[in-house]
């Protein structure tokens, strides 16, 4: 089962998306990072910490600009045993699809293919 990592500039978007996915995918581990000190922004240290606590595979979603940059840097620094995938699918729709598919036992590679289809 793949874990989901949600990165947003807004804590409300990150936590709201996490809550939405958790309602439909109760057994999936979902991490969310958003905002910095009550303002907008992303935090590479928090992203790195969450990557260190993920399961076998992690599928990551982001919203805009520097959230991708910080996510990519965190993944580059990650030296753990798990596979980390960054999806370019829309944050809410992509994380929802990934969470539901993971909860019904769909493999990570199949989930990634479905996420790629969302971009077309």
Residue 9 bears catalytic tag: yes
Among the residues of 1-120, which ranges form H helices?
Answer: 11-24, 44-51, 66-77, 91-103, 108-118
Quick one: CA dihedral 71, 76, 82, 87, positive or negative?
Answer: positive
In total, the chain counts a number of residues equal to: 120
Which member of 9, 31, 82, 85 is catalytic? 9
**Full strand arrangement of the beta sheet holding 30-34:** 30-34, 3-8, 57-62, 83-86
Phi first, then psi, for residue 87 (nearest 5°) are -100, 140
Supply the residues annotated as catalytic: 9
């Amino acid at each position: 089962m793949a874990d989901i990592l949600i990165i947003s500039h807004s804590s409300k978007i990150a936590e709201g998306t996490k809550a939405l996915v958790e309602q439909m995918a109760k057994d999936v581990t979902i991490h969310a990072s958003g905002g910095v000190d009550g303002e907008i922004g992303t935090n590479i240290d928090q992203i790195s910490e969450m990557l260190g606590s993920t399961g076998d595979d992690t599928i990551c979603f982001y919203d805009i600009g520097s959230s991708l940059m910080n996510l990519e840097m965190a993944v580059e620094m990650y030296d753990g045993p798990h596979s980390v995938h960054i999806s370019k699918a829309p944050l809410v729709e992509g994380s929802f699809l990934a969470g539901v598919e993971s909860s019904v036992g769909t493999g990570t590679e199949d989930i990634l293919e479905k996420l790629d289809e969302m971009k077309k």
